[in-house]
Structure 1
């Protein structure tokens, strides 16, 4: 899952349990939809990518830098980056919101299309609740 700075899920993909996170990093970054904001072209890439040690690889770091995205990823075998958890909690909070829907906490669906549909519906509900809360 890749989400914005306030926990809005931008892209969620489902893979097999034995697929490494490193292989999915660029797929997630490429799947970020255009985000409108300031006048002009909509943004298609984040300024920085925060990840845990599962996303650590030199090819990933090089490719992210080539795309002008700052990789803030802890290195394997090294101490954690100080205060990275204070920033990454947003992703963990969004995961916990997904698991609030009991069907997604444990994957009971055998068919991938049904599971992806439930994940998409849940992400839509999370976005709707955040928009509803932000609106006066």
Structure 2
């Protein structure tokens, strides 16, 4: 076992959840060796062809990661680990929401137009990514005015350059509950409902999956009337500061502006859990810098990193 590989305890938790058969009835290559190879690449960010020989053929490791990213196996494993810890009462449902921008390497550009039919590959308008006609999957950076830019693989232009943005929610123990990808220039507030709507932790016994946190904290980027109405409708306690311009506009409108928003400064200090979760994610170099051309493969890389964080926390 090399540094960063799955420990025996971690492997014992994952092994019962893994698929048993390969394509067309063939047996899979050893799951543990292959997963360690994917994990090694996620941790170091090296090209797939440069994987050490101890992980076997690099193309086998790459194809396994690509397949499991497309069919949702990584997400299934993450959900199963979340469900197990929730059943043990080890999930802190006082959550926080934020986003982080990831610089895309030049090797992430140039994907062809065709992508597999996967529900987590979203189209550009409304926070979704889809292929657009053009030379490559990277698409155009500009797009129509107010459209937020159109890209093929969740790649866009922002102040950071050629970027992808990861929107996420984290529990009180700095572990990811949901992940959403958009092009780098997309705003945080329009993705707020999608991030919360992606939270879905099944119960091991009878009952519906848990989708509603006990409380939520977020920064002023998420302070909009629509977001607050959504949280009140779902009966989620929230602590979101009100920006100065919104406060001035509310006061200027008088009684028509509504009541002042509640704000608990002490509870707001707990928002740092999402910042710490982002730091943990970016300890994986293939997450801190995007090398994957396809959005679904990069999402699989981020999901694998989140899975390992859950296993080791």
Q: Normalising to structure 1: TM-score of the pair?
A: 0.83
- Give deviations 1:70-89, integer Å, cap 9, x for gaps: 121111228x9624553011
Identify which of 184, 197, 213 aligns with 1:30.
197
**Alpha-carbon distance, 1:7 to partner:** 1.6
SS in 1 for 2:244: coil
User: How far is the alpha carbon of 1:44 from its aligned partner?
Assistant: 2.1
Pairwise CA distance, 1:61: 0.3
How much does 1:106 deviate?
2.0
Higher helix residue share = 1
Q: Paired residue for 2:293?
A: 110
Number of aligned positions between the proteins: 129
Match of 2:157 in 1: none
Compare 81-90 and 62-71 and name the one that shifted more. 81-90
Tell me, yes or no, if structure 1 residue 77 matches structure 2 residue 244. yes
Partner of 2:12: none
> What value does the CA root-mean-square deviation take over the aligned residues?
2.3
Alignment of 1:55 with 2:238, yes or no, is: no
Q: Deviations over 1:51-78 (max 9, x none)?
A: 0111110110011100101121111228
What is residue 133 of structure 1 aligned with on the other side?
Answer: none
| In 2, Cα distance between equivalents of 1:7 and 1:88 | 10
SS in 1 for 2:238: strand
- Over 3 Å counting, the alpha-carbon distance change for 1:9 and 1:106 in structure 2 is same
TM-score by length of 2: 0.38
Gap regions ≥5 residues in structure 1: 131-136
Distance 1:99 1:85, change over 3 A: farther
Ranges in structure 2 where 5+ consecutive residues have no aligned partner: 1-167, 246-262
Partner-residue secondary structure (3-state), 1:103: helix
Cα drift, residue 101 of structure 1: 0.6
